[in-house]
Amino acid sequence: MFIPSAFAQGAAPAAEMSFMSFLPMIVIFVLFWFMLIRPQQKRAKEQQALLAALAKGDEVATSSGILGRITKVNEQYVTLEMADGVEILIQRAAVAARLEKGTIKNNK
């Protein structure tokens, strides 16, 4: 009794590919772009500008947490003075942030 009625219903309507079926995917991509990709690109541009503007005498913090004053600037490397007479050579890309003048002096 149940089997013949199942066959009698006919085929299901074909699924239509329309704009409305892709709308949720498009909305998710737009949200992903504005919440993840765009801020990351903006941060990368700011970091590149920071590295390009490094100059002798700037006080910086490295990505490893070392604070120092720049004594020499090369295209790839920066020499930091951490204390009187103590200098280290680091890669330019290791500089994470520029500090305000006098920050290191106030923290000693």
Q: How many CA atoms lie within 13 A of 57 on its CB side?
A: 1
pLDDT at position 57 is: 92
pTM confidence score: 0.65
What is the pLDDT at residue 15?
A: 54
Amino acid 87 reads E
Q: Which one is predicted more confidently, 87 or 108?
A: 87
pLDDT tens by residue, 14-55: 555 677 788 889 999 999 988 999 999 999 999 999 999 999
The confidence score (pLDDT) of residue 107 equals: 66
DSSP bridge pairs for 69: 59, 81
61 burial (CB, 10 Å; 0-12 / 13-18 / 19+) is middle
Q: What is the CATH number of the domain that holds 80?
A: 2.30.30
pLDDT at 104 over 60: yes
Residue 70 lies in a domain: yes
Which residues form the domain of 28?
17-53
Same domain, 95 and 71: yes
